[in-house]
Amino acid sequence: LEAIALAGAGLERLATEIRHLARTEVAEVQEPFGRGQKGSSAMPHKRNPIKSEQVAGLARVLRANSQAALENVALWHERDISHSSVERIIIPDSTTLLDHLQRRAIALVEGMVVDADRMRANLNLTYGALFSQRVLLGLVETGLSRDDAYRIVQRLAQQALAERIHMRDLVSTEKAAAGLDLDQIFDYEPFVRYAEEIVGRLEAIV
């Protein structure tokens, strides 16, 4: 039952992430939405993430059942049957519920609507400051001390966010960064270079 509870917690983590990404101010994904399905009863424009909310909520039941299983460990004289009545409920309920949550999670993933343009727009909210680590490492490779490079990058990143100027433009005018390959540094590709390999490993497990 502890393993089942952990499996449920993993599914809850996925569901919680989907709920966050579906928020109006993020809006990077949406749950599958069937024809004729209603959203919020009070706000017709809103699509409630009901499937992921259900997964997140029911995972708590699995954890509660695992707690009941722990309470069954201590028995009088190692032979009383106070555990039996509990196990007759929590074992079939937990296995059935985990199967339900797995099916729910699979349906969520298979039907999920992803807005790649919105993702890119959200990334651009940082005005390139998210590349600060890559700029830092690039400056260190040119011979600057890490502390000096850090102070330069910190200043430029804060300026980019405060003045809404893309950090690449600021770096391009920095004398210490003259030797950097900005096309390589300000490139999203390195962040997703292992994506296909990771998905491939998952498919191999399934």
Sequential DSSP letters for 29-50:
EE----TT----SS-TT----H
Q: What dihedral do alpha carbons 167, 121, 46, 59 form, nearest 10°?
A: -80
The yes-or-no verdict on residue 76 having pLDDT over 90 is no
* Tokens matching residue 124: 């651009």
Q: What is the pLDDT of residues 172-190, one digit of tens each?
A: 999 988 989 999 999 999 9
pLDDT tens string 10-25: 999 999 999 999 999 9
Q: What's the pTM? A: 0.78
The C-alpha angle 25, 27, 28, rounded to 5 degrees, equals 135
pLDDT of residue 73: 87
Residues 148-178: tens digit of each pLDDT: 999 999 999 999 999 999 999 999 999 988 9
pLDDT > 90? residue 138: yes
The amino acid at 94: S
What is the pLDDT at residue 19? 95
CB 56 within 8 A of CB 16: yes
91-110 confidence digits (pLDDT tens): 999 999 999 999 999 999 99
